[in-house]
Structure 1
Amino acid sequence: MTTSEFHANPDNFCYRHPGRQSFVLCQRCMRTICPECQTQAPVGVICPECMQEQRRNQTPAQRRANRRWGARSMTAVGGRPMVTYWILAITSAVSLLQFVPGIGGFLTSNLSFWAGYLYPSLSGAPFEPWRLLTALLVHGGFIHLGLNMLALWMIGQILEPLIGRAKFLTLYLVSGLGGSVAMALIDPAQSTVGASGAIFGLFVALIVIGRHLGGNIIGALVVLAINFVYGFLVPGIAWQAHVGGAVVGALVALIYVRTSGRGTTKFWWIGLVSALVLVLLAVVAIVPPLLITAGH
């Protein structure tokens, strides 16, 4: 293509600023736009006209979400749920190593959670409280891993861009902590692995926040109920972690909802979630010693 042909082609220039060369297209109308006219979308960029049309077509729930949560997290790094991807990648890598002979047993025995690791004077096990969270990295099999990671990927695509990366990561970890604490309280003799408690926390948080924004949550409630019932009916599933993660996830979501305004409440969620973590640790620290059974 000659220089004259290049300059004669309007597709090589921004449709709003004909003198500005660009090769980036609006993902909705497919017209060329320059950097000044680009607004980051979950996938690609969109032009100002498409952005205005998108805002006009928003539902009342979506408008409330934008007002309450702001658009900062939606536009950061293309709106991609990077924390979700990192959790998925790290957890999958560690869990898949469990299938490697000579490594899998070591990982499982050193990362799984059992209440005895919190009470060395009673159990004879070493004091390893970090297992409350490291249990999220290992799983009981490929199906267990696959189902949890699929749920994480599906929920993270919606929830992380809505509440932001810091809040999403905090929600995931604190919900996972809640699942482990529930195991220590309800069934201290049972060891556990898996991110199910954290996943249930994300699921319930999505329902709580969606309900607060006026969204339709009936479908999510049905799926959550099915998963709860499945956990109770099928042997070998740590339903205690599901319950603990769900309860803590709901509490964290309520904190987010109540502190999501502007001004002085901006960072209250950090203090309130920190207080919740301290309460969880205090509760698990005062579990009656008689609940701790010998043997693992």
Structure 2
Amino acid sequence: MLQMIPWLNVTDAFAFAPAYSGMEISGYAPVPYEPWRMITSVFTHSTGFFLHILLNMYTLWIFGQILESMLGRVRFLSLYLVCGVAGSVGVMYLAPPTTFVVGASGAIFGLLGAFLVIQRRLGGNTTSLLILVGINLVIGFLPGLNVAWEAHLGGLIAGVVMGLVYVQTRRFAQRRVRVAWTLVVVVIVVALSLAHAPMFA
């Protein structure tokens, strides 16, 4: 709702673009290094496509409840945030550097990816979910929609990996291994996000 108030400039303050990762862009003035936008962008959305917001929130409500009951609050929150940042990493590497993105789609695709892995491991039918994910990935490539398929792909990959970590370490006795592998995934995502940082570039 805060995005609807013009003078607050919430969208401009929270949006992410690869340029904010510290990369140099030919023909453009230097852009401040603002890596926190990789996560703040996940908590905003384009105000020009209200139906997309509704679909994202509906998907989050449905799959979020299921995954939170399976994983617990801490693991669910970790999954959501890691996939959100991974979505921004996807944009960083696959989109033009001046591409501005907002939205939770990367994180939500991550939830779908994790649920797909967990559901398959539990012996559930994943055909309909695969079709749902496939259709939404294809929609991201349609011209004129301005959908960040790069964020979808980045979040989905991270979600699948996190899902694999969870199903392979689901027993209570394996919690240390689970935490260790989760940290490995986090380190990889952070390392990829820092690749263009001024101190490393």
Relative to the length of structure 1, the TM-score reads 0.61
Mapping of 1:100-111 within 5 angstroms?
Answer: 100-103=5-8, 106-111=9-14
Offset of 1:214 from its aligned partner?
0.4
Q: Which moved more, 1:174-183 or 1:122-131?
A: 122-131
Offset of 1:233 from its aligned partner?
1.4
Residue 114 in structure 1 maps to residue 24 in structure 2: no
Quick one: distance in 2 between partners of 1:270 and 1:260?
Answer: 11
- The one-letter code matched in structure 1 to 2:149 is W
Task: Give the conservation status (yes or no) of the 8 Å contact 1:120–1:126.
Answer: no
Quick one: distance in 2 between partners of 1:213 and 1:120?
Answer: 43
Which has the bigger relative contact order, CA under 8 A and spacing at least 6? 2
Match of 1:161 in 2: 69
Among residues 71, 79, 89, which one is paired with 1:171 in the alignment? 79
Quick one: distance in 2 between partners of 1:120 and 1:246?
Answer: 25
> What's the CA shift string for 1:166-211, capped at 9, x where partnerless?
1111111000011000100111331110000000000111111000
Relative to the length of structure 2, the TM-score reads 0.88
Offset of 1:287 from its aligned partner?
4.9
Match of 1:223 in 2: 132
Mapping of 1:119-134 within 5 angstroms?
Answer: 119=22, 124-134=30-40
Residue 278 in structure 1 maps to residue 187 in structure 2: yes
Match of 1:56 in 2: none
Offset of 1:219 from its aligned partner?
1.1
Match of 2:171 in 1: 261
* Structure 1: runs of 5+ lacking an equivalent: 1-95, 290-296
Offset of 1:121 from its aligned partner?
6.3
Match of 2:104 in 1: 195
Task: Give the conservation status (yes or no) of the 8 Å contact 1:185–1:284.
Answer: no
Structure 2 vs 1, CA of residues 223 and 268 (structure 1 numbering), >3 Å: closer, same or farther? same
Offset of 1:120 from its aligned partner?
6.5
Q: Highest CA radius of gyration, 1 or 2?
A: 1
Q: Name the count of aligned residue pairs.
A: 191
- The one-letter code matched in structure 2 to 1:111 is F
Mapping of 1:18-29 within 5 angstroms?
Answer: none
Quick one: distance in 2 between partners of 1:288 and 1:163?
Answer: 33
| 3-state SS, counterpart of residue 101 of structure 2 | coil
Identity across matched positions, percent? 40
CA RMSD between the two structures: 1.9
Task: Give the conservation status (yes or no) of the 8 Å contact 1:159–1:168.
Answer: yes
> What's the CA shift string for 1:129-176, capped at 9, x where partnerless?
111100011111222321211110011121110111111111110000
Structure 2 vs 1, CA of residues 266 and 229 (structure 1 numbering), >3 Å: closer, same or farther? same
Structure 1 segments of 4 or more deviating over 6 A? none
